[in-house]
Amino acid sequence: MGSFVSLACLAALLLQPGADEIVVSGERRVQNAGTAPFSVSTMSADDVVRISADHPAEALNRAAGVLIHRGNGQEHLTAIRSPVLTGGAGAGSFLFLEDGVPLRSAGFANVNELLEAHSEIADRIEILRGPSGAAYGANAIHGVVNIISRAPGDDFGYFLDTSADTIGRVKGRAFLSDARGAHGFFAGLSLLDDPGFREDSGADQQKLTLRHDWSQGRVAVATIGAFYNLNQETAGFVVGPRSFRDETLRRRNANPNSFRDAKGARLLSRIDAELGDGLVLSVTPFARANDMTFRLHFFPSQALESNAHWSVGAQSALYWDKEEGLSLIAGFDAEYTKGDLSEVQEIPTVGTFTEGVHYDYEVEAVSLSPFASATVAIAPGLSATAAARLDHTRYDYQNLAADGAIGRFLRPPSRSDAFTTVSPKFSLSYDAGGAFIYSSYARGARPPQTTDLYRLQINQTADPARPETIDAFELGIKGARGALRYEAAGYFMWKRNFFFRDADGFNVNDGRTRHVGGEAEIGADLPFGLSIDAQASYGRHTYRFDRPVLSAPQATEAISFGDDVDTAPRWIAGARARWRSGDARFDAELEWAHLGRYFLDAANSAAYPGHDLLHLRAQWSATKRLAVTFALRNILDRLYAERGDFAFGDERYFPGEERTAAFGVRIEG
């Protein structure tokens, strides 16, 4: 930690977010990032267009403290001030939003949720680091990602961007925008046809966003509909020590029959009304539905899973801002969800993986969440904030198959479960003019995922999942000095009731982990059209309990107090140098991405060595409306792994793409 403190002190003289950037997620309304008492990174519409990401990880990994492990196709696992988490923890520890509304209902999350967001044409992407339960509640344990859709412009506008690369991947995105009096209209579409660089690993994806804005007097309404569809063939792990470096093996697919099909729709309407005397009422009714079917290629069963859920609900908040330096927020969120899951093994029995139905159940859920926040100026430049949120969630589970065990699978009888959690937050901030300093305490909490409660295996009856909590302390500084922009923060977090299934097949419902580290971001606009930005993060994520494993083949999954959590690199860093010509016709960016070494197993006996990658992006504007684009990813053609893991006594990896060149055309006006 000492080395990071030195880095943070240096960052305080040099580093990033811009003082005039805005975010929405912290208070669920627009606010200045430079005076927000929490750590946040933002990506503008210009960043989103210029990066032209093949996968959301390509953009999000530019933020400090963030690591998105890309799986195959559009799959991913997430880390934000955390290890890369899997299963129910991976799904429930991060909150993914679009326009401030969760992509999925609490308890029904998915580790691949980012594939559902229309990030390809976003107006802004916000990443909040650390728990944000006081504002958004369940699942905001380690961080929040909020995708903000584009609003209609004041005049007619259009955008078209197409590209193809040397793998054969073809992408396209387009939008139209216009305004007529009090009405604004927007339609955006993105398409992907990706053959994959590995055998039988293609993906086709389509996303559509429609938006209508209306404002009259003191009332504004934004109505947004979003739709997505993904049809993907899935390549699994390559297995063996350093197998990601085998030029032949890394392109093969041992699971050619695997696939993932996902589709869904979302509708929301945010209504903001100025009531006078500093009062603003915001109400957002919403509805969503999604459906996913995929092959469990990582199990001997090769079973077929289908899961779906639909929800209706509303968010509401009343904001009261007084000139005397007092700001009050109070609100209430409510949601009803109905979901189902089935898992069927079509092949003959393999050991304890039995042929036939493994699970078949439905769950109805109701969540009710009041919250409140108060910010008061207690001295010139000095402010304090206190906030809290209560989340009450009830699951009504109905088993549609026979109760009891079949092979290794355990179907609990129908029942109801209820969970109530409280997420407080307190912060103190000081605006010193060129620097903004803050300290905070926050708790994040979430109910168990429905799969952790009802999709059980034998040996899992004694210790049911419990609500997970994390307590976080943070100290940070951000601001600007001349052409420099900076942000730096240090944190200490303690997590309880970390739930997972150990290698012996038993529940761990009282796991404890500690997370200590810090992050820094820096940006600067230099002479001659040059600019730089960079980020670095150091984190030590450790187990704070012991857990022996009795199964000899799984001995590397024994947990010892103080060991690093597996898949938790201590160092993550990146930097970008950008040059724009004086006539603005040429724009080029060189990016360096660094991932440090991390352990593959809980016992810290095997490790991935880490990697360094270089990427180049460039654009030449032939006219005011027409531009030619070029990208060269993995310039040095490194053989690396997007994700490393250890299971069944061996290393296994998702290999990363080799050097790839992409060429495109962009038209806008």
- Structural element, H or E, at residue 3: helix 2-14
Rounded-to-integer distance, Cα 321 and Cα 338, Å: 38
| 446: nearest Cα among 97, 91, 111, 100 | 91
C-beta pairs of 175-179 under 8 Å, 24+ apart in sequence:
175/121, 175/150, 177/150, 177/152, 177/153, 178/152, 178/153, 179/152, 179/153, 179/154, 179/155
- The answer to whether the Cα torsion of 587, 575, 593, 12 is positive or negative is negative
pLDDT of residue 137: 84
CA distances from 70 to 47, 107, 618 (A): 20, 23, 24
In degrees, rounded to 5, the angle at the alpha carbon of residue 138 between the alpha carbons of residues 365 and 459 is: 70
Rounded-to-integer distance, Cα 163 and Cα 663, Å: 5
- Return the DSSP state at 150: P
Reading the block at residue 470, the tokens are 């994390």
Instruction: Indicate the SS3 state at residue 199.
Output: coil
pLDDT of residue 552: 76
Range of the domain at 612: 2-668
Rounded-to-integer distance, Cα 628 and Cα 622, Å: 7
CA distances from 522 to 62, 518, 519, 539 (A): 12, 14, 10, 18
50-86 burial, b at 16+ Cβ within 10 Å, e below that, comes to: bbbbbbbbbbbbbbbbbbbbbbbbbbbbbbbbbbbbb
Mean pLDDT, consecutive 10-residue stretches, the chain (669 aa), reads 36 36 68 88 94 96 96 94 91 94 94 95 95 87 95 94 98 96 97 96 97 96 98 94 95 93 98 94 97 91 95 96 89 97 96 95 98 95 96 97 93 96 96 93 95 89 84 96 93 94 80 97 95 97 93 84 96 98 94 98 94 98 96 98 90 96 97
Q: CATH number of the domain that 122 lies in?
A: 2.40.170.20
- Return the DSSP state at 400: -
pLDDT of residue 502: 81
DSSP string, 408-438: TEEEPPSEEEEEEEEEEEEEEEEE-SSEEEE
pLDDT of residue 179: 95
Structurally, the chain folds into a number of domains equal to: 1
This prediction has a pTM of: 0.93
